[in-house]
Amino acid sequence: MFNWNDLIFFLELARQGRLMPAARRLKVDHTTVSRRISELEKDLSLKLFDRKPDGFVLTEPGHRLFAVAERIEQEAVGVEETLQAAPSAPRGHVRVASMEGIGAFYLAERFAELAEKEPGLVVELVTERHLINLTKREADISISFVPPQGQRLAVRRLGAFRLALYAAPDYVRRFGMPRTRAELPAHTFVDYVEDLVAIQPVHWLLDVLEPLKVSFRSTSMHAQQNAVARGAGIGLLPLFSAKSNPRLIPILTDEVVVMRDIYVSVHEDLEFMGRFRAVLQHLAEVVQRDAAYLTEF
């Protein structure tokens, strides 16, 4: 009989593909992960992984075990909730991944609302420039501007937000206010670092123009907004962030309309579990409630 606990190590290595990332997630030494996998393979008399230069790849028996182990994991996670005599308030940690801008300027405050309503829940907001892999369980829930791809993901459109061109009074005083879209190419802009844009729809300025003059670039939307507010140039910013800075003046609001969808995704195994369901429901409610805030001046 194999050790059931070895399945925890097996699942994490299968998701991460390398010993060190799996060890970090499990909070153990990488040699422990290697040893537990070797013991599991010995107990089952099966080779579960092919060891390759770029990591560990599941064999055919490994894929079959992975499907079984995920079902066992799901049942184990739901034991406490299932055995409770009556529904109770959700509690526990939920890791949510998002882009930096919407995480800092919109989601953080909405999760603070959730903390007041559900004090037993702790949301861990992780911001990245790239899409987090939910299949590898890098997070429990993802908020993104494009629908992510992956096996057994439940993906839903929550709503949308608008972006607009903004400048600072100092910039307008020095260079004037563009009155038509045709005047924009003569102006200076703040933009993303082109070769570091991980998700193309985030390079939203290209929806308006490809700027000829750029004074400042950053991978951080927050940094871009601060540079625009200081007068570095014109920037295309989401309304949910620009509204927080009174130094920003909207430009050509009738001519330039850029929209992006907001998607929420979760692994199917987690979708209907109490704490994850509570976060998903809260996100759906606040985005619907804030529709005007997200899309109107």
* The pTM of the whole model exceeds 0.85: no
The amino acid at residue 36 is R
**For the segment 183-194, what is each residue's pLDDT rounded down to a tens digit?**
999 999 999 999
Minimal CA–CA distance to 16: which of 99, 129, 133, 97? 133
Please, which pLDDT band fits residue 208 given cuts at 50, 70 and 90? very high
The strand ranges marked E within the chain are 49-52, 55-58, 92-98, 121-127, 141-144, 153-167, 188-191, 213-217, 235-238, 249-251, 258-267
CA 200/CA 30 separation, integer angstroms:
35
Please, which pLDDT band fits residue 81 given cuts at 50, 70 and 90? low
CA 22/CA 99 separation, integer angstroms:
24
**For the segment 83-123, what is each residue's pLDDT rounded down to a tens digit?**
665 567 888 889 999 999 999 999 999 999 999 999 999 99
The amino acid at residue 187 is H
The amino acid at residue 56 is F
**For the segment 231-257, what is each residue's pLDDT rounded down to a tens digit?**
999 999 999 999 999 999 999 999 999
Handedness of CA 68, 122, 116, 295 (dihedral sign): negative
- Give residue 91's pLDDT: 85
CA dist list (Å): 25 to 15, 19, 33, 262, 291: 11, 10, 11, 28, 37
CA 230/CA 184 separation, integer angstroms:
19
